[in-house]
Structure 1
Amino acid sequence: MLKHEVAQQLFINGKWKAGSDFYDLTSPYSKRVIAKVSLANETDVEAAIKSAHKGAEQLRQLTSLERSEILERVSAIFKEKAEQAAEILALECAKPIKDARAEISRTIETYKFASEEAKRIHGEIIPMDAAKNGKGRLAFTVREPLGTIAAITPFNFPFNLVAHKLGPAFAVGNSVILKPATQTPLSALFTARAFEEAGLPAGALNVVTGKGSVIGNQLVKDSRIKMITFTGSLEVGLDIKRQSGLNKVTLELGSNSAVIVDSVENLGDVVERCIQGAFSYAGQVCISVQRIYVQKELYHLFLEKFIEKAKRLIIADPLLESTDLSSMINISEAERVEKWIHEAVEAGAKVVCGGQREGAILQPTVITEAKQTLPLNCKEAFAPIVTITPYEQLEEAITLVNNSEYGLQAGVYTTSIRKAFYATENLQVGGVMINDIPTYRVDQMPYGGVKNSGTGREGIKYSIDEMTELKLVNFKL
């Protein structure tokens, strides 16, 4: 385990370097200082960019097999040190230990997928003689690395979302400058040590910790950075898009994901899944269930069962095995959502479960009769809170889901194949989960949204497409 009395350093050009200044990293749950972390300055960022520029050339010279083997070793290191990594998550972002272990399990799998995809990067043959003047020509495409990628990552999945950026980048031969969230640097530094141990060339990965206003702005504007991959808020994503010029950008932004419960075989199972989707990791998940629309004949029974299960959830220390959810990432986020609850009540909504806040801990909260124009329905709550609303016809529910500036994923429970296909055709989202919650994700599938939920797709194979340039080769025979 990383000890808080040891100052955490920057990782630049394959070497560990102390920053000129440090900040105290405080546990969201215990409020105690768990580490002193380096604050990167402009000089540090410049050194990281120069290092990554050289590192990209080294990584590009490795064979697909060599890059695959590095990623395979990283996956094995995470498997060996899984419990240590999970404890870091519980400390730095208050993720319950059982959820932390699940994230590490996914991280192991994500690097494994990246290792496998490193061997499958290929182009295609173009049938040139399909055109009148294409006779006597042979053409094919190849995928080439972009160069240096800046990866800016959030606090909520600080191991696995980093893996979704580093894995495909290294698989194809790009170098990376990683700027982790200020609250979750320890996971990023742990990851850097894993790649160092696995034999990644010096400079291929650089980790700069500190303020986004210093590091992010410098990375986004630098012409040596060929791509920015960002997961975080809509406001920051739009700012990156404005500043990045012609650089490639992938943005995984906000959501207020909805699930429609139209017809089911086992209502209890559906309620259990929706509880998991709404309250796991205190709702601080991009595809957390925030809105539930229930067919009116099922509504009252669904609501009764949902409240019953929500009240049984255990709120406690994230290191305890029995904990279901713990504190939110900081008190200001909890206060923001508490304000939204008060606004909803003033507008006629009812708090039928939870609603109380103690410091950064917000009880699992269920709201009914909430107007669709309220922030709880329109904005991204990113908190353990859900609205439940009845509807009569499926078309009405789909309209309510689509009446949002976001469109990441949605879930639809139905026993009708016709309704399932109708929903998939008409829901304005990047992914539709039939007979499951929108929170479902495995790491090889394409993941991303429409509207203000972002641009581009993650999922190793799909990230590789984003992180490469397509080159055409045409031979006149």
Structure 2
Amino acid sequence: MKKHLLINGDWIKASEYRDLYAPYNGDKLAEVAFANAREINLAIDAADRAIKSMAQLTAFQRAEILMKLVELLKGRRHECATIIATESAKPIKAAIVEVDRTIMTYTFAAEEAKRINGETVPMDAAPGGENRIAYTLRQPLGIIAAITPFNFPMNLVAHKIGPAIAAGNTIILKPASQTPLSSIYLGELLMECGLPPGALNIVTGSGAKIGEKLVIDNRIKAITFTGSPQIGKKIKNQAGLKRVTLELGSNSALLIDKNVNLTDFIGRCVNGSFSFAGQVCISLQRIYVHEEIYDQFVTSFLEETKKLKIGNPLDHTTDISSLISEQDVERSLKWINEAVIAGAELVIGGQRRANNTLEPSVLLNVPSTEKISCQEVFAPVVMINKISSMEEGITEINESKYGLQAGIFTNDLQLALKAAERLEVGGVMINDIPTFRVDHMPYGGVKESGIGKEGIKYAIDEMLETKLVCFRKI
């Protein structure tokens, strides 16, 4: 089964194809187009030609296209989830949740398409502004380049495609090499919804080749990227004056006060650590627990972890399945071993299973200099460290070069307010894990976790130009 390039509303045969295999069992899933420079340029040409027709769509028409997509996704919910589970090894029950979130993301985009408006400016507020009336227009930028990761192959694509369509832009989508089938399926659905030819173009292949071509082409007006800090920095350096939104790495942390009831949230902590085998940007990786309840927390956490089932992603009872590649299993095991040598205690897991699967792993008292602590593990591995005060915990969390989201469980209102102000992250979850996200909230980090904000309304703001119109009364 060959999967082609979507260019100018047609599925175009590529000069080269590469085999795509399932992470869980190695089954061949498809032959996927591997775009060359000429084909990438064809996609940019198509997006450029479609700018006028896309910008001329009314807000109602853009919203209607997005709502048609919502209805198609609702009718094909299980089919979408099966594609996600097969190409990414995401457990099917988690894949269904992703489809439901994708539906909600496009619904928000449809709603926000009707809320794009400017404002009046009181010109006479400044000397010399008398006798003038002014207002602002918010207009689409043009071509948006969207580069997406493997871990949420439908919903993270939706967070880029939905706002771009809502704002009236055209899009070139480069999906992750391991998970292109979800994006290709999305393209098929959008072709049924009345999207103008060339408004969405999908190019698959080398991330380095396609990404560089998109970043340096002057016709591209904005780049929205989710992925590694290393690639994000390269994009930022090459982008020049283009708009750039980067959602990058994290080693999200949770702070647990001594005055909380552990039974209220221990399950959420385990789920936040090991959902999709820890391959989530805001996966719970570092837990700092007050010494007075540390032993109780560790015992409860381990008991809950032992209930998790490892297995086939298409089995509805599976909690944890394969990592995206064998290399990621090897890297994770190496980091665990390095932490143990440095003095950490491995209390569960740390073993490879069949089918590129890693057991959920918990380490205690990990030195802050170890990769398990200071880098993004992106695997089912979590560290739990003891702290003597909440002040110490806030300091430990802020030592990270990342700053996407953090959480704190406490019954102390003053401490919650203090943590909200002092934690150096883009989002603070009070009495919840840092893995919490709903799709309309502002989402984005500080430091090496990125720049700009996602969340539909906020992403749309990044994809619009503001123009001032001023009349002088005569």
What TM-score comes out, normalization by structure 2 length? Answer: 0.99
Are the aligned partners of 2:258 and 2:292 in contact in 1 as well (CA < 8 Å)? Answer: no
* Identity fraction in percent: 54
**Which residues in structure 2 correspond to 1:56-455 (within 5 Å)?**
56-263=51-258, 265-358=260-353, 360-455=356-451
Quote how far apart the aligned CAs of 1:207 are.
Answer: 0.3
The C-alpha deviation readout for 1:412-453, integer Å capped at 9, x for no partner, is 101111111000010000000000000000000000000000
The C-alpha deviation readout for 1:125-153, integer Å capped at 9, x for no partner, is 11212112222111111111000011000
1-structure distance, mates of 2:205, 2:423: 39
The C-alpha deviation readout for 1:263-316, integer Å capped at 9, x for no partner, is 454312321111010000000000000000111111100000101111111000
Instruction: List structure 1 runs of 4+ shifted beyond 4 angstroms.
Output: none
SS of corresponding position for 2:314: coil
Are the aligned partners of 1:406 and 1:452 in contact in 2 as well (CA < 8 Å)? Answer: yes
1-structure distance, mates of 2:16, 2:264: 51
1-structure distance, mates of 2:65, 2:468: 29
SS of corresponding position for 2:254: strand
SS of corresponding position for 2:263: helix
2-structure distance, mates of 1:256, 1:140: 43
CA 1:183/1:264 → structure 2, altered by over 3 Å: closer, same or farther? farther
SS of corresponding position for 1:158: coil
SS of corresponding position for 1:198: coil
SS of corresponding position for 1:107: helix
2-structure distance, mates of 1:470, 1:22: 42
2-structure distance, mates of 1:142, 1:412: 41
Quote how far apart the aligned CAs of 1:34 are.
Answer: 1.0
Q: Could you tell me which residue of structure 2 aligns to residue 3 of structure 1? A: none
1-structure distance, mates of 2:436, 2:124: 45
SS of corresponding position for 2:48: helix
Gaps of 5+ in 1: 1-5
Are the aligned partners of 1:182 and 1:211 in contact in 2 as well (CA < 8 Å)? Answer: yes
Q: Give the counterpart letter for 1:400 in structure 2.
A: E
Q: Give the counterpart letter for 2:154 in structure 1.
A: F
Are the aligned partners of 1:351 and 1:367 in contact in 2 as well (CA < 8 Å)? Answer: yes
Q: Give the counterpart letter for 1:282 in structure 2.
A: A
Cα RMSD (Å)? 0.8
Gaps of 5+ in 2: none
1-structure distance, mates of 2:258, 2:460: 38
The C-alpha deviation readout for 1:308-343, integer Å capped at 9, x for no partner, is 111111000000010001010001011111100110
SS of corresponding position for 1:396: helix
Q: Give the counterpart letter for 1:195 in structure 2.
A: L
Are the aligned partners of 1:258 and 1:411 in contact in 2 as well (CA < 8 Å)? Answer: yes
2-structure distance, mates of 1:110, 1:56: 23
Are the aligned partners of 2:4 and 2:13 in contact in 1 as well (CA < 8 Å)? Answer: yes
Q: Give the counterpart letter for 2:381 in structure 1.
A: I
The C-alpha deviation readout for 1:217-245, integer Å capped at 9, x for no partner, is 11111000001100000000011111111
The C-alpha deviation readout for 1:68-108, integer Å capped at 9, x for no partner, is 00001011111110100000011000000000000000000
Q: Could you tell me which residue of structure 1 aligns to residue 29 of structure 2? A: 34
Q: Give the counterpart letter for 1:392 in structure 2.
A: S
2-structure distance, mates of 1:390, 1:263: 11
2-structure distance, mates of 1:224, 1:410: 37
Q: Could you tell me which residue of structure 2 aligns to residue 49 of structure 1? A: 44
1-structure distance, mates of 2:97, 2:311: 18
The C-alpha deviation readout for 1:163-186, integer Å capped at 9, x for no partner, is 000001000110000000000010
Are the aligned partners of 1:263 and 1:413 in contact in 2 as well (CA < 8 Å)? Answer: no
2-structure distance, mates of 1:49, 1:131: 44
Quote how far apart the aligned CAs of 1:257 are.
Answer: 0.2
2-structure distance, mates of 1:369, 1:247: 44
Q: Could you tell me which residue of structure 2 aligns to residue 462 of structure 1? A: 458
Q: 1:22 aligns with which of 17, 21, 33?
A: 17
2-structure distance, mates of 1:263, 1:47: 60
SS of corresponding position for 1:282: helix
Are the aligned partners of 1:313 and 1:325 in contact in 2 as well (CA < 8 Å)? Answer: yes
The C-alpha deviation readout for 1:172-216, integer Å capped at 9, x for no partner, is 110000000000010000110111011100000000011112211
Q: Give the counterpart letter for 1:69 in structure 2.
A: E
2-structure distance, mates of 1:23, 1:269: 48
Aligned length: 472
